[in-house]
Chain A
Amino acid sequence: DIQMTQSPSSLSASVGDRVTITCRASQSISKYLNWYQQKPGKAPNLLIYKASTLQTGVPSRFSGSGSGTDFTLTISSLQPEDFATYYCQQSYTTLFTFGPGTKLDI
């Protein structure tokens, strides 16, 4: 099975900061990597799919990159509504494993 790791597990930042979250797969998953944002008490929200494609309606300050085993989610200029937990998910195999999450707070 493919294992997903994320770093850091938590991150403190300020409004306006540029933030990068890393996701690593235990084996190559090509570009089959998705990113979700989850706020407390809410369902997850799809941000990016296939590593770099921005989901409709998601602000352009979010971007994704990477292929193979290493991926990044970048928020170019943090806004107050971006403080949340971020999860990566591989969809290369039909065991759609999530990463453990990165909690982004002030």
Chain B
Amino acid sequence: EVQLVESGGGLVQPGRSLRLSCTASGFTFDDYAMHWVRQAPGKGLEWVSGISWSSGAIAYADSVKGRFTVSRDNAKNSLYLQMNSLRPEDTALYYCAKDMSANLYDSGASDYWGLGTLVTVSS
């Protein structure tokens, strides 16, 4: 059974940093690209970042480019999101999602999702 478990969320002050983690199981992690998608309270889905199986291709939404860094450790079956210079508008539930393909350019469809970890940016 595929499982994605996010962690690392919490309450953080504006301008500070936070690192999210996603631990995967039930599939061959290094065969697939991965994504972070967020959802502000009561709002729609916003794609945040994606990373190919080898970390050779990485992409970010314009809203987080230059502030967030995605990475993965295939040996640990883990995906990460380093979030710096956090803003109140970054407050959201952050989902980790598995792509159907290995490369970002092949699919972009996410067939498995975690339950999310909540990030609240507030003073």
Query: Which B residues are in CB contact (< 8 Å) with A34?
Result: 108-110
B2, CB-defined interface residue at 8 Å = no
Q: How large is the interface on A (under 10, 10 to 19, 20 to 34, 35 or more residues)?
A: 20 to 34
With a cutoff of 8 Å between Cβ atoms, the chain A residues found around residue B46 in the complex are 98
B46 → chain A closest CB, angstroms: 7
Interface residues of A in 71-106 (CB under 8 A from B): 85, 87, 89-91, 94-101
From the candidates A43, A44, A91, A101, name the one contacting B108 in the complex (CB within 8 A): A91
Q: Mark B70-103, 1 if CB is under 8 A from A, else 0.
A: 0000000000000000000000000100001000
Q: Which of A32, A43, A85, A101 contacts B116 (CB 8 A)?
A: A43
Number of residues on chain B facing chain A (CB within 8 A)? 24
A38 at the interface (CB under 8 A from B): yes
A50, B100: Cα distance in complex, Å = 11
Residue pair B59, A94 in contact (C-beta under 8 Å)? yes
Interchain nearest-CB distance for B47 vs A (Å):
4
Known A-B contacts A1-B62, A38-B45; the reply to A46 vs B116 at CB < 8 A is no
Chain A neighbourhood of B110, CB < 8 A? 34, 44, 46
Q: Give complex CA distance A5, B45 in Å.
A: 13
The CB with the most chain A CB atoms within 10 A, among B35, B47, B109, is that of: B109
**CA of A62 to CA of B114 in the docked complex: distance in angstroms?**
23
A-B contact pairs, 19 of them (CB 8 A): A43-B95, A44-B37, A44-B95, A46-B110, A49-B100, A49-B109, A50-B109, A87-B45, A89-B45, A89-B108, A89-B109, A91-B108, A94-B50, A94-B59, A94-B108, A95-B47, A95-B61, A96-B108, A100-B44
